[in-house]
Chain A
Amino acid sequence: MTDIPAPRHIPDRLDKPLSSAIFSWEALLVVVAVAIFVVNSFASPYFLDPYSLSDLTFNFTEKGLIAFAMALLIISGEIDLSVAAIIALASTLMGMAVQAGADTPVLVLIGILVGLGCGAFNGLLVTRLGLPSIVVTIGTMSLFRGIAFIILGDQAYKGYPESFAFFGQGYVWWVVSFELVLFLIAAVVYWFLLHRTSFGRRIFAIGNNPVAAQFSGVRVGRIKFVLFCLTGLMSGIASVLITSRLGSTRPSIAQGYELEVITMVVLGGVSILGGAGSIVGVVLAALIMGLVTFGLGLLNVPGIVMSIFIGLLLIIVIALPIVWRRLRGGR
């Protein structure tokens, strides 16, 4: 111990014990998902039907799309509470365009661009002016939805073209909906972006230590700006899907989605303090939330009661590992 050892080889990584894989967050989520699936299939005879399983997916695809971008944003240490308001504003502007006679491609473009624009607005406020994102997006949340209310009041836009219905109601093949395909593609893209690119690595660095990341040549502001734009973009896409599925726009559309999206992200194991998380976890969390909602729906449990389960799930899944660690450490 007193001698200076000669420079020695430091291994890349140590073999991880199997237990660390078994007790990983994702594994826990898989167990929860399977458990809910099994319970559901016993509880309702209709559950295992391919068509009802297909319906199930609509419960999480739209929110899940936003959750991927939100996961990246939260890992970087920021948050966006305005996503549901962006949906409302984008949907309202699409509705206006319909009144002006716009056709499907234009509508989709409007939805996406409005989302992107709102995201960029959030991003500018946060990165250029250095404001806390939680407050900024509480503000823009009121602002965006407020504009939708100014435009629409207590009215609703209807009369979307028939071809527009495909995005939220159409099927690509058999029971596989367009929304589900989009969700799966987005999952792969975001998984790749977060876990396999230098962009993703920089997001983790920013989330763990923004100052050190900046000193290390990471363009912190630019990356956060891009993440806000991405979150806005995904909200815009979600707006197209929801508007298409519902076939109408009210200013109260997608009310409360922001909290569900954030619940999904946190349930997926993303640290709300930033710096840690995985896309696989978010996909599993989306699935779990869809399963719970749908399963309880089949049992005729009203939506408001389902939300209790989602809330309990959120707290229990996060508390469980902490309690577990404490019990084991206590021995």
Chain B
Amino acid sequence: MRVDPLAQTACPLQEEEAAPRLALAGIAKSFPGVRALHDVSLSLYPGQVTALIGENGAGKSTLVKIMTGIYQPDTGTISIDGQVVTLPSAHAAFGHGVTAIHQETVLFDDLTVAENIFLGHAPRTRLGLIDWRTMRKDAREVLDTMHAGHIDADARLKDLGIANKHLVAVARAMSIDARIVIMDEPTAALSMKEIEELFLLIEFLKEEGKAILFISHKFDEIYRIADRYTVFRDGEMVGKGLIKDAGQSQIVRMMVGRSVDHIFPQRKAEIGAPVLTVSGLSHPTEFRDIGFELNKGEILGFYGLVGAGRSEVMQAISGITRISGGTITLEGKAIAPKSAADSIDAGIVYVPEERGKQGVVIGLPIFQNVSLPSLKRTSKSGLLRLAEEFSLARSYTERLDLRASSLSQDVGTLSGGNQQKIVIAKWLATAPKVIILDEPTKGIDIGSKAAVHGFMAELVAQGLSVIMVSSELPEILGMSDRVIVMREGLVAAVYENKDLDAETLVRTAAGIAA
């Protein structure tokens, strides 16, 4: 469709020293109205990690679903060890030794660890019945070989932490003797320490001779663990090669098709008087004695490990979670929001972290999503006024540079980055005084990220106050005026963002003494 000069220079197809374990060639897949993949190819080699890189909507997830038998390609071939195969179902993919460890760990919370590992291939007794004793024993063995003997094979999965769930998923891959392991953003919800453990595990899988596909947005991880890379853009393969031969900026250019500077926007917002004062905020089990001030025109960063209680505090301030004590004062007036509706009325909005679950209402068109929190203003004594809704939706979606064919389009048909724009637009449209953004750029592409950051700078310049919960250090350091670090439900420290370094933040968040 379009000749990419970068792609040609980036893949001087060298002779490969080993035959690929899995090779995809000429794969295409379309959905009604969307061309997800066009003539892509991908090779995975035994004992090597291949990183699949691309912006959201580049077609990575579709490819994973094709490799795991969930989707069927329209054209193209899949070969394993040189043999052309078809994968008509997940079960078939399973049979060929393909297994995926997914973005949202797809395991079974109410089943035991052993069952999660052996579901679908449990050891049987001579009568064909499930042999629970052997299953438990085998599960313990697999976990032991992975140096994960601390996990109880009889524990219910829901009682494990996210990192241990990953270990179980890997154990499952080991138990089916998977030869091809797909890891789809496995580090998204992990803390630094857990990521290190995962990397040890990946090294282990490499030594076992597995062919690994590693999908991640994080370049430091890719450079740390991958041997090869393949870059997708808009459903096409635009480059591939050995990681050691490629520079970071080169790959970024391939991803976005243009160079992107990582510079965060310059801000000249006047920081004014306190707008929001929180003191002694407590919850029976999740956080205690949280106190801070947010000033007019300020971006206040909240850093911490995943599970430090940051989102819980924010949800309490916005009335979604009940508190057991403490006060919230907005512009000198004490407020006690009992629901999101109360806090929106007061002028505090919370833009949630989980876009699909908490953010957009899939099934409703764009304009109805945007107007949902503002229905009081767009309707008159309870009666809808569509013209008002459309103009509200238009003004905010155009400011955020939304790509859509019409405002009556179902949000479910939009890409992740565009859905995130809707999510921000809908809460901004309520004209709040304080906006709380929870992981505003999690899992979105570099282009959309820059748009969101630029927009935040615009907001504070207009006198809004922003709280930004983020687990990404560059974002925290690049955007915040001050940073609050939380650890295990408590405020660990407050820093002015002057000469603040990443190491200090990480140490405080992890509770390691300097």
Contacts and interface: CB of A to CB of B under 8 A. Distances in A.
B360 A212 contact: yes
A208 B407 contact: no
A217 to B, nearest CB: 4
Contacts of B344: 216-217
A50 to B, nearest CB: 37
Interface string B313-341: 00000001000000000000000000111
Contacts of A204: 363-364, 368
A215 B357 CA distance: 10
Contact of A197 (B384, B401, B406, B408): B384
A193 to B, nearest CB: 9
B373 A217 contact: yes
Interface stretch (B62-70, B143-151, B214-222, B374-382): B374-382
Interface string B350-391: 101000011111111001100011011011001110000010
A172 B361 CA distance: 45
Contacts of A319: none
A208 B234 contact: no
Nearest to A274: B363
Interface residues of B, number: 47
B404 interface: yes
Nearest to A199: B382
B14 interface: no
Given A212-B357, A215-B359, 14 more contacts: A2-B2, A2-B257, A7-B398, A7-B399, A14-B406, A197-B384, A200-B384, A201-B384, A209-B357, A212-B352, A212-B358, A216-B373, A217-B343, A218-B340
B90 to A, nearest CB: 21
5 contacts: A12-B390, A198-B378, A209-B357, A209-B361, A216-B340
A199 B341 CA distance: 14
B54 to A, nearest CB: 15
A12 B366 CA distance: 10
B247 to A, nearest CB: 20
Contacts of B368: 201, 204-205
B50 interface: no
Give the one of A2, A208, A213, A214 with max B CB within 10 A: A208
A198 B406 contact: no
A188 B405 CA distance: 33
A198 B257 contact: no
A292 to B, nearest CB: 31
Contact of B359 (A2, A199, A212): A212
Contacts of A2: 2, 257-258
Contacts of B359: 212, 215
A275 interface: yes
A25 to B, nearest CB: 16
Contacts of A12: 367, 390, 394, 406-408
Give the one of A4, A12, A211 with max B CB within 10 A: A12
Interface string B192-208: 00000000000000000
A213 B361 contact: yes
Contacts of B257: 1-2
A198 B361 contact: no
B136 interface: no
Given A14-B405, A197-B383, A218 B364 contact: no
B397 A198 contact: no
B364 A208 contact: yes
A209 B339 CA distance: 17
* 5 A-B pairs with least C-beta separation: A208-B363, A13-B408, A217-B341, A198-B379, A217-B344
A200 B364 CA distance: 13
Interface string A255-296: 000000000000000000001100000000000000000000
Interface of B: 2, 234, 257-258, 320, 339-341, 343-345, 350, 352, 357-364, 367-368, 372-373, 375-376, 378-379, 382-384, 390, 394, 397-399, 401-402, 404-408, 426-427, 430
Interface residues of A, number: 34
A2 B234 CA distance: 10
Nearest to A6: B401
A276 B390 CA distance: 21
B126 to A, nearest CB: 41
Contacts of B394: 10, 12
A83 B282 CA distance: 43
Contacts of A202: 372, 375
Interface of A: 1-2, 4, 7-14, 196-202, 204-205, 207-209, 211-219, 275-276
A13 B389 CA distance: 13
A14 B408 contact: yes
Give the one of A11, A14, A204, A209 with max B CB within 10 A: A209
Given A1-B2, A197-B379, A215 B358 contact: yes
Contacts of A211: 357-358
Contacts of A199: 382
Contacts of B398: 7-10
B401 A215 contact: no
Contacts of B406: 10-14
Given A205-B364, A214-B320, A215-B359, A10 B375 contact: no
Nearest to A208: B363
A215 B373 CA distance: 9
Given A7-B401, A212-B357, A196 B364 contact: no
B322 to A, nearest CB: 13
Nearest to B355: A212
B491 to A, nearest CB: 24
Contacts of B258: 2
B173 to A, nearest CB: 31
A209 B363 contact: yes
A215 B340 contact: yes
Contacts of A213: 361, 372
A100 B329 CA distance: 58
Contacts of A208: 361-364
Contacts of B399: 7
Contacts of A207: 363
Given A204-B364, A217-B341, A11 B320 contact: no
A305 B363 CA distance: 38
Given A215-B340, A219-B341, A10 B2 contact: no
Nearest to B1: A1
Contact of B375 (A13, A14, A201, A209): A201
Contacts of B401: 4, 7
B393 to A, nearest CB: 9
Nearest to A16: B408
Contact of A275 (B363, B384, B427): B363
B351 to A, nearest CB: 9
B400 to A, nearest CB: 9
Given A10-B407, A212-B357, A217 B340 contact: yes
Contacts of B360: 209, 212
A230 to B, nearest CB: 15
Nearest to B357: A211
A214 B361 CA distance: 11
